[in-house]
């Protein structure tokens, strides 16, 4: 992030004392979250249940956690098991005239959002964007999907779910443990008691997580798998580097520092240019007078295809969950498979409009 947002996020994760001034507003925020949660739990607001399993992959905090790479791994795993998964997304950063929006090869990131565009490219499974998640789920069902994965959506309670996975940045944890705007939490930490699994992405410097993992927490790592030249798609292994000398590096993701740290681990001498999450790039932001190569994340690349200079490279990364998580997931998926006949009768078509 950059500017005021970057300073606030650094304060929230660093426990800056001045955030105590915002605790009255935090109390109002917590009360609003509690009222909304109770409305769904007590039936005063409708929860729509799909006739197929729904897996939500989300987080409790603002700032990147590595959620989308886990979604990509998960849908590939489901395909290997013989499922026909579909990805449901809100499409932050995109703007469409009509929803649900089916993401095909021609859908620009400006319309669908950068993460849905990236996930469609990486996985090849159906991706639908809709602020009304039950309605978007209906579109995926109509396409023949037999299991749905919601990228984000932990707080979108109108869509019922069978599994909730929370991804946590192992280097930053939950910051000062407080809710917005006095901290980085979207929901109180007590929410962890109701999710099915917590997946911790990486560890802090020194090899220890930045927080005490809850019982049943699983580990996950993100690792570079290839360099891809933006212009022609040429792929190269992470090492040796396909370029020489210093480079410019841009990152418009939830935590740009993670990308720059990865570059340093690969031995890349990079001049860092961080941007806000979901940043919309302009050509002049990617043009540097010194002519040095430009490197970026896969999430940035979907917005820079027609803007970046010729010598631009994308670092592809992939998630690797701990084997214990894979075993746990297999057991839960087997249980969902066994419950499939009962699911078929629990819902019909999605409601015409159910936006939160």
Residue 283 has pLDDT above 70, yes or no: yes
Q: Which of 151, 86, 80, 165 is nearest to 124 (CA)?
A: 86
| Same domain? 101 vs 159 | yes
| Cα-to-chain-centroid distance, residue 164 | 14
Residue 292 CA neighbour count, 13 Å, CB half: 14
* pLDDT of 306: 87
Q: Which of 192, 194, 198 is nearest to 218 (CA)?
A: 198
Kindly give, in sequence order, each residue whose CB lies less than 8 Å from that of residue 179, ignoring residues fewer than 6 positions away. Answer: 26, 29, 30, 33, 185, 186, 187, 188
What's the pLDDT tens digit per position in 136-153? 999 999 999 999 999 988
If you average pLDDT over every residue of the chain, what do you get?
A: 90
Query: What is d(CA 214, CA 197) in angstroms, rounded to the nearest whole number?
Result: 9
* pLDDT of 160: 95
| Same domain? 112 vs 194 | yes
The verdict on residue 349 lying in a domain is: no
What's the pLDDT tens digit per position in 70-122? 999 999 999 999 999 999 999 988 899 999 999 999 999 999 999 999 999 99
* pLDDT of 254: 85
The verdict on residue 99 lying in a domain is: yes
The verdict on residue 103 lying in a domain is: yes
Q: Which of 166-180, 205-219, 234-248, 334-348 is predicted most confidently?
A: 234-248
Residue 156 has pLDDT above 90, yes or no: yes
The verdict on residue 109 lying in a domain is: yes
The verdict on residue 356 lying in a domain is: no
| Same domain? 280 vs 205 | no
* pLDDT of 184: 95
Per-residue burial over 221-237, b if 16 or more Cβ lie within 10 Å, else e, is: bbebeebbbbeeeeeee
Q: Which of 157, 130, 128 is nearest to 142 (CA)?
A: 128
Task: Give the helix/strand (H/E) hosting 297.
Answer: strand 294-297
Among the listed ranges 2-11, 229-238, 242-251, 345-354, which one has the minimum average pLDDT value? Answer: 345-354
* pLDDT of 146: 96
What average pLDDT does the segment 280-285 reach?
94
What's the pLDDT tens digit per position in 169-204? 988 889 999 999 999 999 999 999 999 999 999 864
Phi, psi of 176 (to 5 degrees): -85, 5
What average pLDDT does the segment 274-289 reach?
92
| Same domain? 216 vs 232 | no
Grouping H, G, I as helix, E, B as strand and the rest as coil, residue 296 is strand
The residue segments making up the domain with residue 260 are 222-319
What average pLDDT does the segment 298-308 reach?
92
What's the pLDDT tens digit per position in 215-239? 668 989 999 999 999 989 999 999 9
Query: What is d(CA 179, CA 241) in angstroms, rounded to the nearest whole number?
Result: 42
Q: Are 113 and 138 in contact (CB under 8 A)?
A: no
Angle CA(313)–CA(299)–CA(311) in degrees, nearest 5?
15
Query: What is d(CA 155, CA 186) in angstroms, rounded to the nearest whole number?
Result: 8
| Same domain? 271 vs 145 | no
| Same domain? 41 vs 189 | yes
| Same domain? 110 vs 231 | no
What average pLDDT does the segment 18-42 reach?
96
The verdict on residue 178 lying in a domain is: yes
CATH label of the domain that carries residue 102: 3.40.50
Q: Which of 52, 133, 64, 53 is nearest to 329 (CA)?
A: 53
- Count of domains for the chain: 2
- Higher-confidence residue of 344 and 51: namely 51
| Same domain? 71 vs 204 | yes
| Same domain? 180 vs 139 | yes
* pLDDT of 286: 95
The verdict on residue 61 lying in a domain is: yes
* pLDDT of 206: 46
Residue 113 Rama label (left phi>0; alpha psi -120 to 50; beta): left
- Higher-confidence residue of 346 and 75: namely 75
Kindly give, in sequence order, each residue whose CB lies less than 8 Å from that of residue 191, ignoring residues fewer than 6 positions away. Answer: 60
| Same domain? 189 vs 247 | no
What count of other Cβ atoms lies within 10 Å of the Cβ of residue 144? 9
| Same domain? 154 vs 297 | no
Among the listed ranges 120-129, 171-180, 201-210, 295-304, which one has the minimum average pLDDT value? Answer: 201-210
183 to 2, 9, 13, 19, 195: CA distances (angstroms): 17, 8, 7, 7, 21
* pLDDT of 309: 85
The verdict on residue 303 lying in a domain is: yes
| Same domain? 174 vs 241 | no
SS (H, E, C) 254-279: CCHHHHHHHHHHCCCCEEEEECCCCC
244 to 185, 290, 293, 294, 309: CA distances (angstroms): 41, 14, 8, 11, 16
């Amino acid at each position: 992030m950059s500017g005021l947002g970057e300073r606030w996020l650094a304060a929230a994760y660093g426990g800056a004392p001045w955030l105590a001034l915002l605790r009255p507003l935090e109390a109002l925020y917590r009360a609003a979250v509690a009222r909304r949660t109770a409305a769904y739990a007590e039936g005063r607001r409708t929860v729509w249940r799909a006739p197929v399993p729904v897996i939500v992959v989300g987080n409790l905090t603002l700032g990147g956690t590595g959620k989308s790479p886990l979604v990509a791994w998960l849908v590939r795993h489901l395909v290997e098991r013989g499922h026909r998964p579909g990805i449901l997304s809100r499409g932050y950063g995109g703007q469409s005239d009509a929803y649900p929006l089916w993401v095909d090869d021609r859908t620009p990131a400006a319309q669908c959002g950068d993460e849905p565009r990236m996930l469609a490219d990486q996985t090849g499974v159906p991706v639908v964007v809709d602020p009304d998640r039950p309605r978007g789920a209906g579109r995926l069902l109509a396409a023949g999907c037999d299991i749905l994965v919601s990228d984000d959506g932990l707080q979108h309670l109108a869509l019922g779910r069978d599994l909730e996975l929370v991804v946590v940045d192992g280097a930053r944890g939950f910051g000062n443990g407080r809710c917005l705007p006095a901290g980085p939490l979207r929901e109180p930490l007590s929410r962890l008691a109701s999710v099915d699994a917590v997946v911790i992405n990486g560890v802090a410097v020194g090899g220890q997580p930045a927080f005490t993992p809850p019982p049943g927490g699983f580990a996950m790592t993100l690792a570079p798998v290839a360099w891809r030249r933006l212009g022609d798609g040429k792929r190269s292994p992470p090492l040796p580097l396909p370029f020489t000398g210093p480079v410019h590096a841009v990152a418009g993701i939830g935590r740009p520092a993670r990308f720059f740290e990865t570059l340093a681990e690969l031995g890349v001498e990079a001049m860092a240019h961080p941007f806000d999450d979901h940043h919309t790039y302009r050509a002049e932001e990617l043009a540097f007078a010194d002519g040095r190569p430009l490197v970026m994340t896969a999430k940035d690349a979907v917005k820079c295809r027609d803007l970046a200079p010729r010598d631009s490279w994308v670092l592809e990364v992939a998630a690797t969950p701990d084997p214990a998580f894979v075993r746990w997931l297999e057991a839960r998926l087997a249980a969902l498979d066994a419950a499939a006949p009962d699911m078929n009768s629990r819902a019909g078509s999605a409601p015409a409009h159910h936006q939160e």
